[in-house]
Structure 1
Amino acid sequence: MAESKASLSDKLLIFIAAMIGWSHDAVGLTITNFVAEPIMNEFGIKKDLLGLIFSAQFIATVPGALIFGYLADKYGRRKALFLSVLWDSIFTALTFFAPSFLVLAILRVISGLGVSWGIGYALLSEAYEPKYRGFFGGLIHATFVLGYVISGVSVSNLYPLYGWRAPYLIALYPIPIIAILAKFLPESRVWLKIQELENIEGRAGGTVPLKRLIESDIFKYVFLASILFWGSEFAYHAWV
C-alpha cells in the first residue's frame, strides 16, 4: 500500500498528541510512588502490599494495550487516543476519593488500562516517513520523564498543603488540551485507506482467516518483539 503523506502541521499535531498521551501515562503510573508513605500510614498497610499496586498497574497496561489497540483499529487512532487519555485522567483523579485501600488499588489498576503509547506511535508511524519514525518515536518515549517530573512537582507542591490525595487530581490536566486537539488532529490517512479497502472487501465477501495471520512471519516477529519489550519494561521498573 502506498503511504499517505501528512502535512507538516498534521505531523506536529500528531507529535504533540502522542507526547501528551505518553507523558500523561507516566503521571498516572508514577504518582503513587511519591505518596507511598502517607498512603501506608493512612490505611495501615505494609510496603509489600502497596508494591503490589505498582506491579498491578503495569500488568494492566498489557490488556489495556490490547483493548485500546482494538479500538484504534476499529474506530480510529484519533478517537482511541483521546479515549485512553480520558480514561486514565478520570480513574486517576477518582483515587482522590478512595475510602479504602481496596478501592484505591482497584482504581489504580483500572487506570493502568488506559495506556496511550501504542496508539500515539501508530498515529506517528502512519504519518511520518520511515527514516524519521525512530527518531521522533524516541522523542515521544523520552517524554515519560516529563510525566515523572509532573508527578514529582505536583506532590511537592500539593501534598504539604492538602495531603496525599490532592496530587491525583492533577491527572485531569490533559482534558482541556485534548478537547482543543480534537478539533484539529487528523485521523490517520493509512487507517482511513484501510477502512476503505475493508469496505470493498466486505462487500465482495473477502476475509483473512485468523489462522493465516497467526502463521505469518509478521505475527512471529511481532510476538517476539512484544516479549522482549515487556521483559525489558518489567526489568526496568522492577529496578527503578
Structure 2
Amino acid sequence: MNTANSINRINRLPVTRYHKTMIALIAVAYFFEFADINTFAATAPEIRRVWGLSVPEIGYITSIAFVGMFLGSLVGGWLADRWGRKSALLSTTVWFSVFSLLTAAAWDFTSMAVLRFLTSAGLSAMTVIAVIYVNEVFPARVRGRYLAYAMVIGICGTPVTTFVASLVVPWSDSSWRLVYLWGSLGAVLVFGFKVLVESPTWLESKGRVAQADSVLQRMEHRVSASGAILDDAAAPEEEIRRSANTPIKTLLHKRYLAPLLVLSVLWITQTVGFFGYSSWAPTLLADQGFLVEKSIFYVALTTVGAPLGSLLAAFITDTFERKWLLVVFGVVIGVCGLLYGLTFNPVMIVVFGFLVNMFERGYTSFAYAYSPELFDTRTRSLGTGISYGIGRLSNAVGPLVIAAIYGSSGYSSVFVFIACTWFFGAVVLALFGRRTRVRSTEPVEPIAKEPKP
C-alpha cells in the first residue's frame, strides 16, 4: 500500500459524537492552559505587595515566562513531529500541570521566575500540538468552527481563574498560592486522552501507512456506528511526502518562508498586543489608585467577553476568509484597547476591556485555525511551532518595553503602544497574508514536491 489517503478520508467524514468527544478533551486542555497562563497576572499585584517587588521585577518574571513559551513552542513542534501528536499532547499537558503545582511553593523572585519559565514552556508546547492535532483529525470544512468551539470552553479558564483569584487572594498573605493549585488541575486529562487517536496524516508522513490505515478504519467504524453514511473518499492527488525529520532549512524555501514570516508577525503582534494588555492591566490599575481587589475584579469582569469572542468566531470562521477576519478583528481590538487606556471611569474600563477580550479571543481562534493551514504535513509542526514561538519570545521584551513606557510616559501611553501593535499586524496580514478558505474546486491540502536547493 503506497498511501492511506488520510487527508481525503478524513475530510469526507461527517461530524459525529466521536469528533465531539475529541474536541471536548481538547477544550478541557485549553481551559486549564488559559487558567494557568493567567495565574501570574491575577496574583502579581498581591505577590508584589507581599514580597516587596518592583514593577520592573514583575516585568522580568513575565518576560522569562515568554522565553519559556518560545522554547516550549519549538520543542512542542519537534515532539509532535518525532513522537506523534497524541503522545506529545499528553506529555506537555502533564508537564505544565506539574510545574504549576510546584509554583504554589515559590518562595522568592528567583524561584517564581524559574517555575513560571518551566510552566510556560509546557503551556506553549501543548497549544502548538493541539492546533496541529485538530487540523489533522477534523474535516477541513469544519475544523475552524470546532477549534473555535474548543476555545469557547477553553477561554472560560481566564474569567474563572480571575474570579477565583479575586475571591481567594484577599484571604491572607499566602492565599495567592491556591490560584496555582487551581491551575495545575489539567493533569486530570491523563485519564481522558486514551480516547484520542494518533493523527493518521502524521503516521502516513512517517511511512507508517498500515498504522495510518488502521486508525482511519477505526475512525470510520466509529462514525458508521453512529448511523452516519460515509461517501467514497476522493482519490489522492499525490502521496504525502515521507520524511523522518524536517530540517529547519526547508522553511527557507519560498513556498514556506513567506507564510512563516507573516505568521511570525501575526503572533508577535497578538502576543505583545494581548498579553501586554492582560498581564499588565491589574498591576497598572492598582498603581493608578484602585485597590488590588478592585483592580482584579474589574479585569475579571472584562474577561467575560473572552468566551463570547470564540463563540462569535465559531459562527463565522468557516464562512468567510480567515485572513480578512483577522484583519478586521485586529483593527477593532486596537481601537477598543486605545479607548480602554484613555478612561479612568470604572464602567468604561469594564466595557472597553470586555470588547478587547471578546474580539481578541475571536482573533486567536481564527489564528489557531489559520496557522497550520499555511503548511503541508511535513512542515506543519515546524512552521507552526517556530512562528508561534517567535511570537511568544517577543513578549520577553514586550513587558520591559511596557514598563519603560509606563515609567517615562504614563498609563495611557502603554495602551497607545498596544493599539499600534494591533494596527501593524492588521496591515501586514492585509498586504501579505495568504487566503486559506477551502472551496469545492480547490484541493484541501496541496502537497508540494521537494523544493530544489
Fold match by TM threshold 0.5: yes
Q: Which moved more, 1:1-10 or 1:82-91?
A: 1-10
5+ residue gaps, structure 1:
none
- What TM-score do you get using the length of structure 1 for normalisation? 0.85
Distance 2:35 2:61 in 1: 15
CA distance 1:135–1:164, change in 2 (3 Å) = same
Identify if the C-alpha distance between structure 1 residues 192 and 206 changes in structure 2 by more than 3 Å, giving closer, same or farther.
Answer: closer
Q: Which of 178, 190, 207 in structure 1 is aligned with 2:201?
A: 190
Structure 2 unaligned runs (5+)? Answer: 211-241, 279-453
Is 1:44 equivalent to 2:56 in the alignment?
A: no
Residues 43 and 100 in structure 1, CA contact (< 8 A), matched pair in contact too: yes
> Residue in 1 aligned with 2:323?
none
The alignment partner of 1:173 has SS state of helix
Cα deviations across residues 38-86 of structure 1 (Å, max 9, x unaligned)?
Answer: 2112221112211222233234212211101110111011111111111
Deviations 1:105-147 (A, max 9, x none): 1101111101222211111111112121222223333445311
Specify the structure having the higher radius of gyration (Cα). 2
Range with bigger deviation, 216-225 or 115-124: 216-225
- Structure 1 contact 11–124 (Cα < 8 Å) conserved: no
Other-structure match for 2:129: 119
Task: Name the SS for the 1:220 alignment partner.
Answer: helix
CA, structure 1 residues 196+105, in 2 after alignment: closer, same or farther (shift >3 Å)? same
| CA distance in 2: counterparts of 1:147 and 1:29, whole angstroms | 9
Structure 1 letter corresponding to 2:206: Q
The number of aligned residues is 235
Residue 68 of structure 1: aligned partner: 76
Sequence identity percentage: 21
Choose 15-24 or 151-160, whichever is displaced more.
Answer: 151-160
Among candidates 93, 97, 106, match of residue 89 of structure 1 = 97
Q: Conserved in 2, the CA contact under 8 Å of 1:93 and 1:168?
A: yes
Per-residue deviation, 1:9: 4.0
Aligned amino acid, residue 262 of structure 2: L
* More RCO (CA 8 Å, sep 6+): 1
Q: Could you say what secondary structure the match of 1:126 adopts?
A: helix
Partner SS for 1:131: coil
Paired residues for 1:2-41 under 5 Å: 2-3=6-7, 4-5=9-10, 8-41=16-49
Report if the CA contact (8 A) 1:21-1:81 is conserved: no
Amino acid at match of 1:222: L
SS at match of 1:196: coil
Distance change (3 Å), C-alpha of 1:209 and 1:225:
closer
The Cα shift of 1:216 comes to 4.1
* Alignment partner of 1:173 is 2:181: no
